[in-house]
Amino acid sequence: MQEPDRSSQEGERRWAQQALARLRAAAAEEPAIPLRRYPLPGSWGVRLYFRDESRRPTGSVKHRLVRRLVEDAVVRGDIRQDTTVVEATAGNTAVATAYFAKLIGVPFIAVVPGRTARAKRERVERYGGTCHAFDPPAAIYDEAARLAAEVGGYYLDHLAAARHAEDWRAPDSVGAALLAQVIAAEGGPPTWVVVGVGTGATSATLGCHLRHHGYPTRLAAVDPEHSAYWPSWVTGYSGYGTGMPSRIEGIGRPRVEPAFLPSVIDLAMPVPDAASVAAMRHLATATGWSAGPSTGANLWAALRLAARMRAAGETGSIATLICDGADAYRDTYCDDDWLRQRQLDPGPYTPTIERFLAGGPWSEPT
């Protein structure tokens, strides 16, 4: 029997320890994530808070998830000092993966749809990642798995792995952090927490945290058009699929992903895509906060819940997330021509927000 190469094993162990130390040090140096209060009329007795995840080093809520996935892969030995990490996405997850791959000194390849804009590729390349274009877009996941096998690398597969990435019991989980901040500001937990659903990990973590601690807080999950999560929650059928991609980057999936946990969700809320854009733009105008379209979906849903609370004579607070900043969307959701080409007109939805904040009823366009 051939003896294992002890020196090689020790070298891999030392590298893993150094990589994990770098990941921990980077986490410790991150700035505090602020809780921002949106200016609802004070007479309503309803407060709305946003935890600003755009302050993460790579600018989005995906930063923390990817750090956990990379940590887990290093601990298991799936990522070693000569491993090429591969992922199938062109969005915030790809940017965060490029950042952490560079931090621990391994190559990263993002498999992206062929039509991916140059600006999005540059965000990945800024951290030393490489973009591998492939079509059709729905096949990038199989291509990422094939490419990882071809180069002897590791396919991160965040959609499948997200369910295990976050420990909802941990005091620094996204659920614990958000609830602690609101409790400090309010003296008690929020009435509602509102989050969009992409991988499903954030809503699952929050829901489990709320149940574990016995909070009376209810959890609302936001879903854009063409996504499978809302109809799955309504019907109870986990195999529901739409076959159509989401038009709101960061949330919505054509299938139900493994991390989605419908049993901890009190209310699933479909949000029209153009309403997400209208709310995103309103947020910038009303507060000066730069945020992307998934944050717009959160705001639209939160305002609907505020209207419900007002109508029922309830007081309390609503908490949600700023998922990422608007800089990545200057040529897309911030561009009127781009929206027009995709028949995303925020115009009919803007008056709904303005009338409501002026004291009128919540009335959506028909």
Domains 28-59+168-357 and 61-162 fall in the same CATH topology: yes
Q: What is the pTM of this model?
A: 0.94
Model pLDDT for residues 310-343, shown as the tens digit of each residue: 999 999 999 999 999 999 899 999 999 999 999 9
- Angle, CA 36 vertex, CA 38 and CA 92 arms, to 5°: 105
Q: For residues 94 and 65, is the Cβ–Cβ distance under 8 A?
A: no
pLDDT at residue 239, as a whole number: 87
Distance CA 74, CA 129 (A): 18
Distance CA 289, CA 281 (A): 10
- Pairing mode, strands 130-134 and 154-155: unpaired
Token code pair at residue 152? 């002897």
Distance CA 299, CA 356 (A): 13
Distance CA 69, CA 87 (A): 12
Residue spans of alpha helices (H) in 158-214: 158-161, 174-186, 201-213
Distance CA 276, CA 273 (A): 5
- Closest C-alpha among 295, 304, 319, 289 to residue 357: 304
Beta-sheet strands, E only, within the chain: 35-38, 46-52, 85-88, 108-113, 130-134, 154-155, 192-196, 218-223, 267-270, 316-322
Q: Is the pLDDT of residue 30 over 80?
A: yes
Model pLDDT for residues 88-106, shown as the tens digit of each residue: 999 999 999 999 999 999 9
Helices and strands (H, E) in the chain, number of each type: 13, 10
Q: How many other C-beta atoms are found inside a 10 Å radius of the C-beta of residue 128? A: 15
SS3 6: helix
Task: Indicate the class that CATH gives domain 61-162.
Answer: alpha beta
Distance CA 294, CA 323 (A): 7
What is the overall mean pLDDT for the chain? 94
Distance CA 140, CA 111 (A): 6
Q: Does domain 28-59+168-357 have CATH number 3.40.50.300?
A: no
pLDDT at residue 216, as a whole number: 97
**Domain range annotation of the chain:** 28-59+168-357, 61-162
pLDDT at residue 4, as a whole number: 59
SS3 132: strand
pLDDT at residue 171, as a whole number: 82
- Pairing mode, strands 46-52 and 35-38: antiparallel
Quickly state the pLDDT bin for 204 (edges 50, 70, 90). Answer: very high
- Looking at per-residue confidence, does 171 or 262 come out higher? 262
Q: Which residues contact 117 (CB under 8 A, 6 or more apart)?
A: 331, 332
Model pLDDT for residues 57-93, shown as the tens digit of each residue: 999 999 999 999 999 999 999 999 999 999 999 999 9
Q: Which residues contact 80 (CB under 8 A, 6 or more apart)?
A: 12, 15, 16
